[in-house]
Amino acid sequence: MRHLILIPVMLAGSLTLSACSDNADETVERAFQDVNVVDETNLNDVMLTVADPNEAVDYFQRTLKENPDRIDLQRGLAKSLTRAHRNTEAVVVWGKVVKMDGAIPDDAIDYADALIRNNEWERAEQILDSVPPTHETFNRYRLEAMVADSNQEWKNADTFYETAVGLTTRPAGVMNNWGYSKLTRGDFAEAERLFGEAIRQDSSLFTAKNNLVLARSAQRNYTLPVVPMTQTERAQLLHTMALSAVKQGDITTGKSLLREAIDTHPQHFEDAVRSLRALEIG
C-alpha cells in the first residue's frame, strides 16, 4: 500500500517541479526582456548624443523597419536627421511624429526648429502657434524670437529673446542671435553689448567674436576687443575688421589691418593675401 500512496505523491511533486520550472523560465524570459528594453533605451540615448549623426540615422531606420509605430524611434530618427543637417528629411519625419499617439508639445517645437532650418518660416510659425501658451521652454522662446525677427517684429523679438535668456543656464547662443538681430537693425552699440555678454558666457564662441568685430567696425572702431582669442582667431578677426573698413570706404585702414592679419596668422593666410593684393592692384 505504501508504494501505491507514493506514486500520486511523486506525480504531484513532479507536476509541482514542472510548474516551478515553467514559472522560472517565464521569469527569466521577462528578466531578459526587461534587460533588452534597458539596453535598447541606452543605445537609443547613445545614438542621439555621441554617435555619428548619419550612423544614428541608419540605426533608427533599421530599427523602425521592425517597429514602425514606435514614436520614440520615429523621434530618434527625426532628431538624428536634424543633427546630420538632413533638414528636408527631418521635416518629413517630424511631421509624422506630431501626428502619432504619444506626441508631446516638445515634438511640435522640434518640428518648428526643423522647418526653420529648412527655411520654411511660415509653416514654422503656424506650428509654434499650435503649441499651448502654457508650454514655456527655452527652445520655444528661442524659436519664437527667430520667427519674430524674420517678420521684423522687433518688440516681440526682444521680448522672446529676453525670456529665452532667463530660461537657460547657457545663454551664449541666444545672446549671439539677439545681438545679430540688433546688428541687422542698425543698433550697433546694443549689438556690441550683447555679443560681449555672449562671449563672457562662452569664450569659445568664435561666431560671437566675429560679430562683435562687425558691430565695432560699423561704428568705425577698428581696434580688437579685449576678449580671449587664439593667434589664428586674432588674424581672422583682423581680416573681418579690414573688410568692414574697406566696405565703409576706409581703404587705408583696411590695407593696414590686412597686413597685420597676414603677419599675425601662424600660417599662410591666403584669404587676407588675396584681399590685400586686390586692393593694391585696384
CB atoms within 10 A of CB 278: 11
Q: How many domains does the chain have?
A: 3
Q: Give the model's pLDDT for residue 15.
A: 42
Would residue 37 count as lying in a domain? no
The grid coordinates listed for 232 are: 589664428
Q: Give the model's pLDDT for residue 176.
A: 98
Q: Give the model's pLDDT for residue 46.
A: 81
Would residue 179 count as lying in a domain? yes
Q: Give the model's pLDDT for residue 5.
A: 43
Would residue 29 count as lying in a domain? no
Domain boundary, last residue among 97, 126, 155: 126
| Domain coverage including residue 178 | 136-228
pLDDT digits (tens, 9 = 90+) for 164-196: 999 999 999 999 999 999 999 999 999 999 999
Domain boundary, last residue among 197, 213, 228: 228
Would residue 4 count as lying in a domain? no
Q: Give the model's pLDDT for residue 36.
A: 46
Q: Give the model's pLDDT for residue 44.
A: 81
213 and 176 within one domain: yes
Q: Give the model's pLDDT for residue 113.
A: 98
Q: Give the model's pLDDT for residue 38.
A: 39
Would residue 78 count as lying in a domain? yes
148 and 120 within one domain: no
State the CATH number of the domain containing residue 178.
1.25.40.10
Q: Give the model's pLDDT for residue 42.
A: 75
pLDDT-flagged residues of the chain (< 70): 1-41, 50, 282
Q: What is the dihedral of CA 179, 184, 189, 194, to 10 degrees?
A: 0
144 and 66 within one domain: no
Would residue 190 count as lying in a domain? yes
Distances (CA, A) of 61 to 14, 77, 85, 230, 276: 48, 7, 16, 42, 50
Kindly report the pTM of this predicted structure: 0.80
Query: Is the distance from CB of 169 to CB of 139 less than 8 angstroms?
Result: no
Q: Give the model's pLDDT for residue 10.
A: 43
Angle between helices 231-247 and 270-281 (to 10 degrees): 30
Q: Which of 256, 211, 266, 205 is closest to 235 using CA atoms?
A: 266
